[in-house]
Chain A
Amino acid sequence: MSGKVLLETKDLYKEFDGNQVLRGISTQICQGEVVAIIGPSGCGKSTFLRSLNLLETPTAGSVVFEGKEITAPGVDVNKIRQKIGMVFQQFNLFANLSIQENITLAPVKLGLMSKEQADKRALDLLERVGLPDKANAYPSMLSGGQKQRIAIARALAMNPDVMLFDEPTSALDPEMVGEVLELMRELAKDGMTMVVVTHEMGFAREVASRVMFINEGVICEENEPQEFFGNPRNQRLQDFLSKVL
């Protein structure tokens, strides 16, 4: 494991209307790590991910980002989120804006870049995600795979220190999964710290530096991928893997 601790959760609990979704999750994510989170649906893995940038407010416990407890009262969560990129299952590109505007909106409005800088950065990023000709298109004109690559570019435009992926390929047609995974693989290779909730076991095995199995709101097992898939110890994980592999 490399680098310093970037993101840490301490005994995280989340309850929705009497339903305990997270029951005490403590873990650390270090710089440069790629953590894949797997688990049955409804197990709390998405809730856990969304707690990391406080899209969900934990009921109890704390989240520490770059040494700062962001769940503490009085923390400017908007400032924190600038450094935590997020990619959603449903892409969530801004439907009223062109692709270029989707990418430049936040950096410009938050005063991080001038309009010119942001435009240039957007074109660079579009080049990087392989869609340089889509700058003036609108989200509704793109395929799912293209949308997700744009969503990744949009998150990258903020120069985040960590990227959260919430089932980034689950809403894609099968033939488009590859292009998105390929891009994520490149990101990982470039050293981006990533936390990925996924059902793509192949991706978890090949790209992740650590795989985490969440079930009923707790981390049942976490390990480096070879050991995780090759020699699962937890009974529930063994069942799960036997069904999905």
Chain B
Amino acid sequence: MQNFVEQFTLNFIDDNRYQYILQGFVNTLIITFLAALLGIALGFLVAIIRSGHDKTGHMKIPNFICQVYLTVVRGTPTMIQLLIIYYVIFASVNVSKIFAAVVAFGLNSGAYVAEIVRSGIMSVDEGQSEAGRSLGLNYRQTMQFIIMPQAFKNVLPALGNEFIVLLKETSISGYIGLTDLTHGGDIIRGITFSPFMPLIAVALIYLLLVTGLSWCVGRLERRLRVSER
């Protein structure tokens, strides 16, 4: 027990080392949140373009761009994307590491969100769309008021999962020298040479975050399920 207290003091209290974890925690939250927003925006846009193209045959060029985007993002490791965005694309402009990370993770997540949302759109029965169009609603109105709300509800569990993955994936931010939660814990380990405490602390915080996120998604799911009772 004495050993535990000693270790705890050494890793977190001495020299205010907990600050590394705190700062990392805040950075991880910021990156995840903003990247998720970017991912949602991009993902919905791409999904709408792709399913619109599949259905009407219009938007050939945007669809092609989306295809390239999906192929590249899903075909390369996230870490490489992060490194390329920070060290190559933003090499000559002075941007913050957080900004680069948000762009990298947002672009990455967008590709996965896009395919999730597209599967949601396809899961809505064709008759729903036909009924909307038969009333004189145009394609956009039918998508907006009838298809997307149902698609969103259908893919909510998968989307929740994607954001859990995103949250954990930000743990590679250390590769561009950004102090995220993982990197913060690792800095402490580097100073104290005792791996147990900082790593377990970091793991526990991730676990808590993911549990909280799952809980929120679950609540939203239950709220949206009203129409099925």
On A, residues with C-beta under 8 Å from B are 53, 55, 78-82, 84-86, 88, 90, 92-98, 105-106, 109-110, 138-141, 151, 154-155, 158
> Which residues of B come within 8 Å of A, CB atoms?
125, 127-128, 130-138, 141, 145-146, 149-150, 153, 226-229
A55-B130, A94-B128 in contact; A110/B136 too (CB < 8 A)?
yes
A173 to B163, CA, bound (A): 44
8 Å CB contact of B145 from A78, A90, A105, A140: A105
CB distance from B218 to the nearest CB of A (A): 20
Give A50's nearest chain B residue, CB to CB: B130
Shortest Cβ gap from A139 to chain B (Å): 8
Name the distance in Å between A2's Cβ and chain B's nearest Cβ.
Answer: 26
Q: Quote the shortest CB–CB distance from B229 to chain A (angstroms).
A: 7
Tell me which residues across on chain A come within 8 A of B128, comparing CB atoms.
Answer: 92, 94-95
Enumerate chain A residues within 8 angstroms of B125, measured Cβ to Cβ: 90, 92
Supposing A94-B128, A95-B128, A96-B150 touch, asked if A53 and B134 sit within 8 A by C-beta, the answer is yes
Q: Are A138's CB and B136's CB within 8 A?
A: no
A82 touches B149 (CB 8 A): no
User: How far does the Cβ of A57 sit from chain B's closest Cβ, in whole Å?
Assistant: 12
Question: In the complex, A88 Cα to B128 Cα: how many Å?
Answer: 10
Contacts of A138 in B (CB 8 A): 226-229
Min CB distance, B28 to chain A, in Å? Answer: 35
Q: List 13 A-B contacts (CB under 8 A).
A: A55-B133, A55-B134, A78-B133, A85-B134, A86-B131, A88-B127, A92-B125, A94-B132, A94-B146, A96-B153, A106-B136, A106-B137, A158-B136
In the complex formed, the residue of B with least CB distance to A109 is: B141
Q: In whole Å, how far is A157's beta carbon from the nearest beta carbon of chain B?
A: 9
Known A90-B127, A92-B127, A138-B228; contact A78-B149, beta-carbon cutoff 8 A: no
Bound together, the chains give a CA A93 to CA B136 distance in angstroms of 15
Q: Which residues of A lie under 8 Å from residue B130 when comparing CB positions?
A: 55, 88, 92
